[in-house]
Amino acid sequence: MKGYIQTGAGVVPEQWIDKNGHMNIAAYMALFDQGSDILLQTCGCVPSLGSDTTFVAGRILIDHRKELFLGDKWEQWSGIVAVQHGYLTITHRLRSASSIRATCDIRAKPFSVQNRVAVSLDPEIVRRLSSFRIPGQLDRFGPG
């Protein structure tokens, strides 16, 4: 997937299956959260232990397109859609059998762990994250 980074792959285990016989929403969210961490690590933007600035999810949009079942193989592809000094939008595509099964967009804000308030990203971080933007991908949340 052009511009995306693979942030996970596996097979749906039994513990991810809900009473309806398909993958549970909590498992989808855990994959998207883990994919965000892997993406930020790949971009060189994961806060180190003791760092004051981190990212927190402010808004999340999930679109379920086709069910995943026990034993289905899956791949997760992730990328940056938008980055500004006050926010970052991450997008994920969960694929199986060559079709997109779910998408997730996360609007994250830089956040001070110590002061518990939103902060601005350093211009170098904005530049670094911008270099990972997916070409032509629109931000589903719109500007700022």
pLDDT tens per residue across span 92-133: 999 999 999 999 999 999 988 888 999 998 898 899 899 999
In a domain, 26, yes or no: yes
Residue 55, judged by CB atoms within 10 A of its CB (0-12, 13-18, 19+), counts as buried
Q: What percent of the chain has pLDDT over 90?
A: 75
Given a cut of 70, is residue 144 above it in pLDDT? Answer: no
Rg over CA atoms, the chain? 16
The Cα–Cα gap between 34 and 19 comes to 24
pLDDT at 113: 84
| CATH number reported for the structural domain that contains residue 13 in this entry | 3.10.129.10
In a domain, 138, yes or no: no
Domains held by the chain: number: 1
In a domain, 144, yes or no: no
In a domain, 95, yes or no: yes
What would the pLDDT profile of 63-75 be if each residue is shown by its tens digit? 999 999 999 999 9
96 DSSP assignment: E
pLDDT at 49: 52
Centre a 10 Å sphere on the Cβ of residue 143 and count the other Cβ atoms it contains: 7
pLDDT at 125: 87
In a domain, 141, yes or no: no
In a domain, 81, yes or no: yes
Given a cut of 90, is residue 53 above it in pLDDT? Answer: no
